[in-house]
């Protein structure tokens, strides 16, 4: 079944970052604090692609890249990050 213009508009509105940040189903605010402590860091922060570069030190980014390459070595898909 195809959605009409009103249905598509509702979906588009709910996919806006500010709305997702407020939605308990996408911001994980209902997850128990002992599993994910949102007082330390929100799951959805700014909604800016690449902002991790402002959060990680060069050493942390290098460590992440090393671990990522090891864990993903058997995956055939290539991810484009930049």
CA 7 to chain CA centroid, nearest Å: 25
CB 21 within 8 A of CB 27: yes
Write down the pLDDT at residue 59: 96
Per-residue model confidence as pLDDT tens digits over 44-60: 888 888 888 888 999 99
Contacts of 31 (CB under 8 A, 6+ apart): 38
> Side-chain half-sphere of 13: how many Cα atoms within 13 Å?
6
Q: How confident is the model at residue 22 (pLDDT cuts 50, 70, 90)?
A: very high
């Amino acid at each position: 079944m195809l959605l009409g213009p009103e249905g598509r508009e509702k979906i588009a509105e709910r996919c806006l970052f500010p709305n997702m940040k407020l939605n308990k189903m996408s911001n994980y605010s209902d997850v128990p604090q002992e599993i994910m402590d949102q007082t330390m860091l929100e799951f959805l922060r700014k909604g800016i692609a690449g902002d991790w570069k402002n959060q990680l030190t060069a050493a942390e980014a290098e460590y992440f890249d090393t671990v990522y390459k090891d864990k993903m070595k058997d995956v055939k898909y290539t991810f484009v990050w930049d």
